[in-house]
Amino acid sequence: MSYGIRGGLLRRHRDFRLLWCGETAGKYGASVTGVAMPLVAVSTLDASTFEVGLLSAAAWAPWLIIGLPVGVWVDRLRRRPIMLAAAAVSLVLFAAVPVAAWSGRLSIGLLLAVALLAGTATVFFQTAYTAYLPTILDPDDRPEGNAKLHGSASAAQIAGLGSGGLIAQLAGAVNGMFANAATFLVSLLCLAGIRHREPRVTRTGHRHTSLVGEVREGLRLTACDPWFRTFALFGAASNVALMGYQSIQVVFLVRSVGLTPGVVGALVAATSAGGVAGAFAARRVAHRIGTGRATLLFELGVPSLGLLIPLATGGAGILLFVTGGFSVSAGVVAGNIIKASFLQRYCPPDLLGRLTASTAFLSYGAIPVGALLGGLLGTALGLRTAMALTTAGIPLAALILLFSPIRRARDLPASRRTGSSPRMPESPAALRGE
């Protein structure tokens, strides 16, 4: 598969522009929360390192609990109403945090409950969103659309992480949660304005298939296809390492490096700038050297500089954290863009929800494991040692790609006819997410 470089999608496609605006706003709010929530736990509730890791784990645990059946439901129902409902629930949940603080009822238990319920809404939203995006874009527009969405998400993350630290320092960490609540309102308005209407879902091929049967089918399809099996295993291993260090990086920067909340937000935002660079480079590099080779470059080569992160110290030593984090962000975002475009071409549209959930069960389900691992290692071995072990796992996870069919392919297959195993079931697909 190769990429042509086209432009103007935001200008000429109104529905995609609305989806882009809503998703960018949501990523901004989520990034503010990514800084504000741990700071609320650390500075307001004096949470331990393990409790901060548990907080991150709670946000991702729903992928393990309900991820598989949600994929089936998304294939059975129209996707946009699911996204609207999930955004509305998230708005209420995040607005409840400062309200609870004002009434004196804020606690670690409440934060964990909000994280768990908001994570449940995210499972519905993200699964539906992944299946919905290809329905509003032509196949030739999908690489550009994915690049724009991932690039703007990284830019929003930079703004959100930087302003999240400043909001926490100037107005209090709890007030940062209002930023996320407001962005879900923006998402609701943008989704409501999309004119494209999905056709009524018909399930003639699965009319008599049970929920368990369809879940089993999604898992079987993922396991039997060598391409999706590789991405699923890599996604799980990679997310353990990524979340392992990300769940404790705020605590590491505050307690080990000795930085203030405002500086922490600025530093994490600087590392997220790598995502913008990765989004800019992904299609161009893939077009030049091939999607298979570009996948190895972005998932294995570039993120190896993440080994610099645990070496960070005060003063000029913080540049090690920025360099390592920037490289990890660039590699992850670029790799996700290439994979997303590949999977949208390779997977039958009517199976995207179920098969996305099948792989997300592994890749997203590994995230709470990584968060708990980070907290446990930080408590048992110290923050710096925990950061060293978890960042080392990033290039180690990418060895799964190196010892897979991707190593021998210049380009990822454009369709199952050119890339499938002869013994596979008929409709394989999956998706690794970050």
Whole-prediction pTM value?
Answer: 0.69
Over residues 401-410, the mean pLDDT reads: 89
Residue 53 lies in a domain: yes
pLDDT digits (tens, 9 = 90+) for 354-387: 667 777 778 877 877 888 888 889 888 989 999 9
Does the pLDDT value for residue 208 go beyond 70? no
Residue 193 and residue 14: Cα distance in Å, rounded? 10
Please, what is the average pLDDT of the chain?
80
Over residues 305-317, the mean pLDDT reads: 89
Residue 340 and residue 344: Cα distance in Å, rounded? 6
Residue 352 and residue 429: Cα distance in Å, rounded? 7
Q: Mean pLDDT: which of 49-63, 163-177, 232-246, 363-377 is highest?
A: 232-246
Residue 430 lies in a domain: no
Q: Which CATH number characterizes residue 242's domain? A: 1.20.1250.20
Residue 203 is predicted with a pLDDT of: 53
Residue 236 and residue 33: Cα distance in Å, rounded? 24
Does the pLDDT value for residue 153 go beyond 80? no
Residue 297 lies in a domain: yes
In this prediction, residue 35 has a pLDDT band, given cuts at 50, 70 and 90, of confident
Over residues 172-191, the mean pLDDT reads: 83
Residue 432 lies in a domain: no
Residue 2 lies in a domain: no
Residue 49 lies in a domain: yes
Enclosing domain of residue 146:
12-196+211-419
Does the pLDDT value for residue 353 go beyond 60? yes
In this prediction, residue 33 has a pLDDT band, given cuts at 50, 70 and 90, of confident
Residue 349 lies in a domain: yes
123-154 per-residue burial string, b: 16 or more CB within 10 A, e: under 16: bbbbbbbbbbbbebbeeebbbbbbbbbbbbbb
Residue 133 and residue 290: Cα distance in Å, rounded? 24
Q: Supply 305's token pair.
A: 């500089």
Q: Supply 68's token pair.
A: 């598989």
pLDDT digits (tens, 9 = 90+) for 256-296: 888 887 788 778 778 878 888 888 888 889 989 998 999 99
Quote the number of domains for the chain.
Answer: 1
pLDDT digits (tens, 9 = 90+) for 100-115: 888 888 888 899 999 8
Lowest mean pLDDT among 19-33, 158-172, 189-203, 314-328: 158-172
Q: Mean pLDDT: which of 15-29, 77-91, 176-190, 256-270 is highest?
A: 77-91
Query: Is-contact 263 165, C-beta < 8 A?
Result: yes
Residue 93 is predicted with a pLDDT of: 92
Taking CB atoms within 8 Å and a gap of at least 24, the contacts of 316-321 are 317/257, 318/257, 318/259, 318/267, 321/253, 321/257, 321/267, 321/271
Residue 322 lies in a domain: yes
The label of the residue with tokens 């790598």 reads 274
